Amino acid sequence: MPLASMPGNEPLGSHSNVSGGRTLTLPAVLAARRPEESDDTVMATVERVSPIRRVFRRLTASEHELDAEELQRDAAASGCALARACSRGEMVSVSGRLRTVVYTPRTNLPTLEADLYDGSDVITLVWLGRRHIAGIEPGRQMTAKGRIAIRDDRKVIFNPQYELEAPR
C-alpha cells in the first residue's frame, strides 16, 4: 500500500496550517519524491508567511526576539550551523554576535573567553594562553570554526579559527 494512501495520511500536496502558511506533510513529500532520491534531499516544511502577519509580528515581538531571528537568518545565509543544533564532538562553523568577552587569569594558563550568540543558543569560545585579541570585543559579529566540546553543561570551542565581520 503506498504511503500516501495509508489511513490518517493526507493526500499528496499541501494543506493550510493555522499560521496561514503552506506546510508539506512528510508522508506527502516522501510519496511524491522519485525513488532515486535519497532521504537527505527531502525538505519536509515550507513556511510562507503573509506580509500582514510579518508586519503584525514585528509590531508585537520584543526587540530581543527580533534580534534573535535576524541573527538566525544571517547564520543560515552564511551557511553556518545554528548553535542549538550543534552536538559534542562535531566540527562546526557558527556565526553570531559576541555577547561577553572575559580574560580569566590563571596561574598556569591565562584564557580569553567570549560568548557567541547566534539567536538560538550560546557557544563559549576559549582561546588558551591569550590575554587579548584585537577585534574580539562585545557586540562584534564573527564566524568561528572548531570542534564542539562540553564544559560545565555549556557548549565550548577551544582555540577556534575565526573571521571578524566588518562593524555595522
In a domain, residue 66? The reply is no
The single-letter DSSP state of residue 45 is -
76 pLDDT band, cuts 50/70/90, is confident
Rounded to whole angstroms, the Cα distance separating 88 from 91 reads 9
> What's the whole-number average pLDDT of the chain?
75
- Asked if 13 and 88 sit in the same domain, the reply is no
Rounded to whole angstroms, the Cα distance separating 65 from 119 reads 8
In a domain, residue 150? The reply is yes
- Asked if 51 and 98 sit in the same domain, the reply is no
Residue 15 three-state SS? strand
Rounded to whole angstroms, the Cα distance separating 112 from 105 reads 9
Q: Confirm whether pTM is higher than 0.85.
A: no
In a domain, residue 47? The reply is yes
Report percent pLDDT > 90 for the chain. 35
What average pLDDT does range 23-31 have in this prediction? 40
In a domain, residue 68? The reply is no
Window from 75-79, 94-98, 129-133, 162-166 with minimum mean pLDDT:
75-79
Q: What is the pLDDT of residue 24?
A: 39
Q: What is the pLDDT of residue 51?
A: 79
- Asked if 49 and 87 sit in the same domain, the reply is no
Residues contacting 72, CB < 8 A, separation 6+: 82, 118, 119, 120
- Asked if 47 and 86 sit in the same domain, the reply is no
- Asked if 109 and 156 sit in the same domain, the reply is yes
- Asked if 125 and 56 sit in the same domain, the reply is no
8 Å CB contact between 68 and 97: no
- Indicate whether 21 pLDDT > 70: no
Q: Quick one: 52 exposed, middle or buried, by C-beta within 10 A (0-12, 13-18, 19+)?
A: exposed
Range of the domain at 94: 81-164
In a domain, residue 74? The reply is no
Number of structural domains, the chain? 2
Q: Between 142 and 56, where is the model more confident?
A: 142
**CATH (domain of 108):** 2.40.50.140
- Asked if 36 and 87 sit in the same domain, the reply is no
Q: What is the pLDDT of residue 48?
A: 73
Residues contacting 151, CB < 8 A, separation 6+: 124
